[in-house]
DNA sequence: ACAAAAGTGTTTTGTCTACACCCATGC
DNA sequence: GCATGGGTGTAGACAAAACACTTTTGT
């Protein structure tokens, strides 16, 4: 773990960002990594230890290398930071104001990722100075234009989560309908009607009951569902569109 | 006009793309410029005159300069090619496969623009070897990954036009409801019911009658409407969302 | 008169919403 | 038994779809 963190995404030497070997000048990658924990939407942030910006929070990122595509680069940075592979990862957009990094001209390509709580438990407790899950609502004051990137990613997530079944990437593989509802309520910042939400989801046929139920709960145990990607693809071919 | 075309977006010298002065290495801008003409969705393409790729069609584009933001750069390229300012212009995304330009590593940031037929009449007849409006459906075989970029832009447009009132940017300032319907039918490739489409649009209150009517038509003259940006903003603040 | 498109009305069907209600389980 | 969440039922409001119909205008 520590080894990975030493490979800091951006290295500051007395205020200037130094590119590594194999890196492309002027081009970086930044990742907005969303998580969902205890009913709150979280984002993974890193804190720089050295240089002019020491102590300030930022989105994780790093240089684009010559021998990798931009998508591969984002996946590499995500893997280096979290150890996770096969994560939902999608390009947000490029950010390229002239002065987004003072004194240098760096265009960054931002990605956002959705990770499962069960997968990132390794680092959820890792609340040192270096890397931390932060509440999205309470995260501001990030370095450079990272506040703007985060805001943009959140907008995109809010929109996308309503029109595509990507929210499941933030939940455990098996989840209850209430968990799913709470996820939507957290992301969209709305209150939903339980019976109606339930019916809407069931009617779409995208969720298949796992046959298992919750264990050790102080109320009637709920059915655990999983999202079926194959069914979704098949329905899409028939003109189905996901809507929440 | 010819002067502008001489400032070719990308200059090929015996197969290699040469950057100009002030350009940033490895970073280019490409524009997908949509138009709507005679009921068909069009895209503006350019043909290279010299070099290895002579005779092949491409999306217009060029280098990102050091002293301009990526948004400004896209607007500059659009202006240089068409002479138009204040055009609807939005970033699509970055494209950065390793081998998208053979032998070189160039990441491009793609934009798409929507232009009014009344504005581009200057060049609609300009069907020389250099620049041409082409039918979107019949456009393929473009250089590099430009087919993919076009496809991606069309996907984005199809999605966006249903959830945001941007289609009006492809129509004259004043238009009839049937023109609007035909635009949606062309973009989404569907057939819509006239009475229902009409009511849906009217009910949204976004269109204001101009008081004028069509002239010299061989049937009952239709009311000409215009889209009101201010009303749209006001409605959005009240939680309104545009849907077609 | 006729063609062509403008524009209105109506019926049917389905979906969204709100809210009342019963069920299962652990304490 | 009671709190908690799981899960079902239902009536009314609302919106979408299908299509018949009337109006206006140039030829």
- The CA distance from A96 to A27, in Å, is 10
Mean pLDDT of A213-237: 94
pLDDT tens, residue by residue, A158-211: 999 999 999 999 999 999 999 999 999 999 999 999 999 999 999 999 999 999
pLDDT tens, residue by residue, A2-26: 334 334 444 443 445 667 778 898 9
* Whether the Cβ atoms of residue A102 and residue B73 lie closer than 8 Å to each other: no
SS3 A46: strand
Number of separate helices (H) and strands (E) present in chain A? 7, 11
Chain C positions under 7 Å from a protein CB? 3-10, 16-20, 23-27
| Strand D neighbors by CB, 7 A | A 176-178, 194-196, 198, 218-223; B 193, 195-196, 200, 216-221, 243
Shortest Cα distance, chain B CAs vs residue A49, angstroms: 30
Q: For position A121, what pLDDT does the model report?
A: 61
Task: For residue B177, give every residue at least 6 positions away whose Cβ sits within 8 Å of its Cβ, in sequence order, or none.
Answer: B197, B198, B201, B207, B222, B223, B225
A97-110: string of b/e by CB count within 10 Å (b at 16+)? beebbeeebbbbbb
- The CA distance from B28 to A198, in Å, is 47
pLDDT tens, residue by residue, B38-85: 899 999 999 877 777 888 999 999 999 999 999 999 999 999 888 889
State whether the beta carbon of A191 lies below 7 angstroms from any atom of strand C: no
Q: Per this entry, what is the length of chain A?
A: 244
CA B43 centroid distance within chain: 6
- The CA distance from A90 to A178, in Å, is 27
Phi and psi, residue B173, nearest 5°: -55, -40
B7 band by pLDDT with thresholds 50, 70 and 90: very low
B238 band by pLDDT with thresholds 50, 70 and 90: confident
SS3 assignment for chain B: CHHHHHCCCCEEECCEEECCCCEEEEEEEEEEEEEEECCEEEEEEEECCCCCCCCCEECCEEEEECCCCHHHHHHHHHHHHHCCCCCEEEEEEEECCCCCECCECCEEEEEEEECCCCCCHHHHCCCCCCEEEEEHHHCCCCCCCHHHHHHHHHHHHHHHHHHCCCHHHHCCCCECHHHHHHHHHHHHCCCCCHHHHHHHHHHHCCEEEEEEECCCCCCCCCEEEEECHHHHHHHHHCCCCCCC
Mean pLDDT of chain A: 88
CA B146 centroid distance within chain: 14
SS3 A113: strand
Q: Could you give the angle at the alpha carbon of A20 between the alpha carbons of A15 and A23, nearest 5°?
A: 115
Q: For position B18, what pLDDT does the model report?
A: 66
Q: For position A50, what pLDDT does the model report?
A: 73
Work out the end-to-end distance of chain A between its first and last CA atoms, rounded to an integer number of angstroms.
38
Shortest Cα distance, chain B CAs vs residue A63, angstroms: 13
Q: Sign of torsion, CA B192 B168 B157 B201?
A: negative
Mean pLDDT of B130-138: 89
- The CA distance from A111 to B226, in Å, is 38
Q: Are A91 and B91 a contacting pair at CB < 8 A?
A: no
Exposed / middle / buried, residue A27 (Cβ in 10 Å: 0-12, 13-18, 19+):
buried
pLDDT tens, residue by residue, A110-132: 999 999 977 876 554 444 567 88
Interatomic separation, CA of residue A196 and C1' of nucleotide C17, rounded (Å): 8
- Option in B24, B25, B94 nearest A94 (CB): B94
- Chain A residues within 8 angstroms (CB to CB) of chain B: 24-27, 64, 66-71, 91, 93-98, 105, 107, 109, 163
B11 band by pLDDT with thresholds 50, 70 and 90: very low
Work out the end-to-end distance of chain B between its first and last CA atoms, rounded to an integer number of angstroms.
38
Mean pLDDT of B179-192: 96
| Residues facing residue B35 across a β-bridge | B42
Lowest mean pLDDT among A43-52, A63-72, A76-85, B135-144: A43-52
Within 8 A of B98 by CB-CB distance, chain A residues are: 67-69
Structure tokens given for A239? 């003109």
Q: Strands B57-58 and B61-65, how do they pair?
A: unpaired
pLDDT tens, residue by residue, B25-51: 899 999 999 999 989 999 999 987 777
Within 8 A of B68 by CB-CB distance, chain A residues are: 98
Q: Strands B107-114 and B23-37, how do they pair?
A: parallel
pLDDT tens, residue by residue, A45-76: 988 777 778 889 999 999 999 999 999 999 99
pTM of the model: 0.91
Closest by CA position to B210, among listed B234, B179, B175? B175
A105 band by pLDDT with thresholds 50, 70 and 90: very high
Q: Whose structure tokens read 């005779």?
A: B55
């Amino acid at each position: 773990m520590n080894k990975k963190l030493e490979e800091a995404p951006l290295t500051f030497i007395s205020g200037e960002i130094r590119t590594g070997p194999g890196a492309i000048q002027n081009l970086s990658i930044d990742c907005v990594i969303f998580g969902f924990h205890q009913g709150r939407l979280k984002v993974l942030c890193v804190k720089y230890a050295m240089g002019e910006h020491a102590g300030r929070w930022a989105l994780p990122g790093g240089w684009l290398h010559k021998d990798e595509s931009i998508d591969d680069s984002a996946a590499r940075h995500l893997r280096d930071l979290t150890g996770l592979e096969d994560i939902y990862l999608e390009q947000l957009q490029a950010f390229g104001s002239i002065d987004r990094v003072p004194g240098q001209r760096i265009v960054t390509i931002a990605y956002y990722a959705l990770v499962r709580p069960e997968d990132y438990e390794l680092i959820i407790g890792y609340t040192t100075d270096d890397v931390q899950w932060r509440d999205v609502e309470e995260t501001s004051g990030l370095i450079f234009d990272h506040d703007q990137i985060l805001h943009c990613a959140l907008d995109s997530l809010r929109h996308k989560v309503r029109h595509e079944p990507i929210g499941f990437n933030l939940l455990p593989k098996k989840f209850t309908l209430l968990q799913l509802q709470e996820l939507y309520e957290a992301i969209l910042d709305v209150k939903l009607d339980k019976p109606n939400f339930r019916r809407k989801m069931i009617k779409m046929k995208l969720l298949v009951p796992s046959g298992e139920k919750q264990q050790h709960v102080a109320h009637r145990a709920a059915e655990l569902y999983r999202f079926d990607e194959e069914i979704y693809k098949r329905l899409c071919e028939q003109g189905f569109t996901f809507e929440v």
